[in-house]
Structure 1
Amino acid sequence: MSNGTAITRRTAMAAGLAASLGMPRTGRAQRVEWPTGPIRFIGLFPPGGGTDILSRLWCAKMNEVTGQQFIVENRSGSGGNVGTLSIARSPADGSVIGLASVAPLSIAPTLYASLPFDVNRDFTYVCGLWQLPNMLVVNNDVPAQSVPELVALIRANPGHYSFASSGSGTTVHLSGEMFKQLAGLDMVHVPYRGGAPAHIDLLAGRVHMIFDNIPQSLASARDGKVRALAVTSAERSPQAPDVPTMAEFLPGFEVTSWGGVLGPAGMAPRLVERIATLAKQALEAPDTSARFRENGATPWWVGPEDLASFRRADEARFAPLIRASGARVE
C-alpha cells in the first residue's frame, strides 16, 4: 500500500466519522445564515410601556445590522404570560423570537398556582439586553412630596390608596408588595394589562401611584405630569440623580427589572450563537446604548448560559418575597 493510498483512506474515514457526528468536514463551524427574512419579535406588554420602548429601539438597530425587518408584535396579558406562551409555541427556526422578561420567567413560577409553560423546559435562553429599575411616581393630586410623607399618608388612611401595576407578577407589582411589606401599609393593588394603560389611569387620577419601569415614569415626571419620589435600584439612577432610592428610607428595598431575547425550546446551538452575536452588535452600537441610558436602562449583554443561570438565581431571590407578601394568582 502506498503512502498516498493510506492518507486517502484515513481522510475518507475521518470524513465519515465527522459526518456521523454531525460535524463540518472542514473542521470549522459553518456559519448559520440568519436572518433570511423578516423576524417577528413578540413583546409581552402593550405599546408605549417601558419594555416596549426598549424592545423597539433594539429591533430598529437589528434592522440596520442585519438588513432584515424586525417586527414587534405585542401580545399582552397575564403579566407577560400570554406573550411568553406564544414564544414557547413558535417554530424553533429563528423566525420568531421574543422578549425574555423577569415577570413570566423569574416571578410567575412562584406567584402563579399553575402556568401553561415550563420556564426550564419550553424555552431557549439567547441573551440579555437590559436592566432597569422601577420608579415610584404619584399622581399630582397626592399631597406627599417624599416617601416618608407618603408612608404617613397611607398609614393615616388604610385601604384608601391604590397602586397600579402592569400586571400581577411583574416587578411593578412586586415593588408595590415590597413597599407594603417593609413599611407595614394597607394599599389596594390594581393590575392592568401593561404599563401604558396603567400609566394612563395614573395621569387621570383613577389610581394614586405606580412603581413603573423607569422609561415611562421618568418622561412623565420630567414633563410635570406626575411626581417622582424614588427609584427601586440599589443606587440612584444617573438619569435622575436627584431622586432618592427606596432603600434610603426602607433598608433592603431593591427590585430591578431585566429583559433579553427568548426563543422556543429546540433552537440549534449555532443559530442561538448567531442571534446572540448580532444582538450584542446591535446593543453595543453607540446610538443604541445612548438611547437605552436616556430611558433609564443599562445595556446588559450576557450569553445563553449566563442568562439561564441568572434567571434561576432571580427566581430564587424573588420567591421568599412573594411568599411573604401573600401574593398568589390561582
Structure 2
Amino acid sequence: MAKVILARRAALGLLPALAAPALAQSGDWPNRPVRYINPYPPGGPTDTLSRIYCARMSELTGQQFVVENRSGSGGNVGADAIAKSAPDGYTIGLGGVASHAIAPTLYRSLPFDPERDFTLVAGLWQLPNLLAVHLGVAAQSVPELIALLKAAPGQYSFGSAGSGTTLHLAGEMFRQLARVEMVHVPYRGSAPAQLDLVAGRISMMFDNIPGTLSLSRQGQVRPLAVTSAARSPVAPEIPALSEYLPGFDVVSWTCVCGPAGLPPAVVGRMSALTKQALETPALIRAYQDLGASPWWTGVEEIATYRTAQKERLAPLIRASGAKVD
C-alpha cells in the first residue's frame, strides 16, 4: 500500500510538468517571457520597429518580449533560428519579404523551407521604398526621368542596399515597366549608397523611405516617387510610381511568425494581441515617424499574401540575374 501511495504522489508531482504543454495551447499565452528573434542587426529601422512592437506586446500581456538580434546571410540566420525553435509560442520572430518571398528564388539552397517550416501569424508593417535622384540629374519628375533614361540607355546608374533586396527589385520593376536601361550598383547596406548618391557617384537610388526622405528634406537629393501602390502617409506630397507606371508596387513588408506547428490557440491569441498592439495610437505615430505603416492581417491572409509575393517577385529576381549560393 505504501508503494501505491508513493507512486500516486509521484504521478501527482508530474502533473504540473505534463500540464505545461496543454497550458501553452489553452489560450493563456503568454504566461512567461517571450523571445523575439530579429534576423537583422541592432540599430536600424527594422530593429527599432520590432522593439516598439515588443514593448507594446509586453504592456498588453504583462510578460516581457525580449528582442534577440540574430543577423547574417541576409536574414537567413535568424529565420533558421525561428524555424528550428520549439513550437510553443515562446520563441517567435520577424518574418517578411526577404526570408519568405525573395529567399526561395534568390538562394540556391536554404537551411529552412519558407513554406513548411514556419507559422505565419500576422502582418506587422509595410515600408515603402523611395526613388531619389542626385541633384545634378536633369529630371524633376518620373516622366522626365524616363525620357532622360530612354535618350541615353545604360548611361545612368541606380544604387541599392544589395542584390536581391526589395530596393534592387524595385529598380528592376522600374526598368521593365518603363522600358529603360540602367546600370545597377549594389552596396552592402543603404548608408554607403546614400553617400554616393549625395556625392553624385550614382545617378539615383531606390531606398527604404526613412533615410532618403531625410536627405531629401535636407535638400541633398531629389525625391521623385514612392514604390508603394499608393502615396505614403508619411510623405503624401511625393507621388507613387503607380501613377505613371500602372501596377507598380514593391514594398518591404514584415510579419510575426514562429516555427511550424504552433498550437492554434496560441496563434489565435498572438494574432489578436498583435492586432490590438498595431491599433494603439502611440504605436501608429511611432511607426509613421519611421516611415512605416502598421499592417495587421489574419493568419490565412498573410499566408496567401506571402505566396502571391513570392510568385510576383520571382520573375524580377530571375531577370535581374541575382543569385546567391
Query: What SS is found at the alignment partner of 2:207?
Result: strand
CA RMSD of aligned residues (A): 3.0
Match of 2:227 among 214, 232, 252: 232
The offset of 1:126, in angstroms, is 1.3
How has the CA–CA distance of structure 1 residues 259 and 177 changed in structure 2, closer, same or farther, with 3 Å as cutoff? same
Cα distance in 2 for partners of 1:108, 1:43 equals 13
Query: What SS is found at the alignment partner of 2:231?
Result: coil
Residue matched to 1:279 = 274
| Equivalent pair of 1:46/1:196 in contact (CA under 8 Å) | no
Residue matched to 1:65 = 60
Cα distance in 1 for partners of 2:62, 2:195 equals 36
The offset of 1:289, in angstroms, is 1.7
Tell me, which stretches of 5 or more residues in structure 1 are unaligned? 1-18
| Equivalent pair of 2:37/2:78 in contact (CA under 8 Å) | no
The offset of 1:81, in angstroms, is 2.7
Cα distance in 2 for partners of 1:162, 1:290 equals 35
Residue matched to 1:110 = 105
Residue matched to 1:185 = 180
Match of 2:261 among 258, 266, 269: 266
Residue matched to 2:43 = 47
| Equivalent pair of 1:159/1:186 in contact (CA under 8 Å) | yes
Cα deviation digits, residues 181-217 of structure 1 (max 9, x gap): 2233333333344445544554455544322222333
Residue matched to 1:9 = none
| Equivalent pair of 2:29/2:89 in contact (CA under 8 Å) | no
Cα deviation digits, residues 39-95 of structure 1 (max 9, x gap): 23314356324x334223222322322334434333444443333223223333333
Residue matched to 2:241 = 246
Count of matched residue positions in the alignment of Structure 1 and Structure 2:
305
The offset of 1:285, in angstroms, is 0.8
The offset of 1:35, in angstroms, is 5.1
Query: What SS is found at the alignment partner of 1:169?
Result: coil
Cα distance in 1 for partners of 2:204, 2:276 equals 37
Cα distance in 2 for partners of 1:119, 1:179 equals 27
The offset of 1:283, in angstroms, is 1.0
Amino acid at match of 1:271: V
Match of 2:28 among 25, 32, 39: 32
Worse-superposed segment, 150-159 or 313-322? 150-159
Cα distance in 2 for partners of 1:221, 1:317 equals 30
Asked if 1:216 is matched to 2:223, the reply is no
Amino acid at match of 2:294: P
Worse-superposed segment, 86-95 or 237-246? 86-95
Cα distance in 2 for partners of 1:112, 1:252 equals 26
Worse-superposed segment, 138-147 or 295-304? 138-147
The offset of 1:123, in angstroms, is 1.0
How has the CA–CA distance of structure 1 residues 23 and 112 changed in structure 2, closer, same or farther, with 3 Å as cutoff? closer
Query: What SS is found at the alignment partner of 1:167?
Result: coil
* 1:10-21 → structure 2 map (5 Å cutoff): none
Query: What SS is found at the alignment partner of 1:90?
Result: coil
| Equivalent pair of 1:280/1:301 in contact (CA under 8 Å) | yes
Match of 1:92 among 53, 73, 87: 87
Match of 2:115 among 111, 117, 120: 120
Amino acid at match of 2:206: F
Runs (4 or more) in structure 1 with deviation over 6 Å come to none
Amino acid at match of 1:119: P
Amino acid at match of 2:238: V
Query: What SS is found at the alignment partner of 1:58?
Result: helix
Cα distance in 1 for partners of 2:183, 2:72 equals 20
Asked if 1:316 is matched to 2:311, the reply is yes
Q: TM-score, normalised by structure 1?
A: 0.79
Cα distance in 2 for partners of 1:47, 1:154 equals 36
The sequence identity of aligned pairs, in percent, is 58
Q: TM-score, normalised by structure 2?
A: 0.80
Query: What SS is found at the alignment partner of 1:106?
Result: helix
Cα deviation digits, residues 194-244 of structure 1 (max 9, x gap): 445544554455544322222333333223333211011222223222212
Amino acid at match of 1:120: E
How has the CA–CA distance of structure 1 residues 57 and 197 changed in structure 2, closer, same or farther, with 3 Å as cutoff? farther
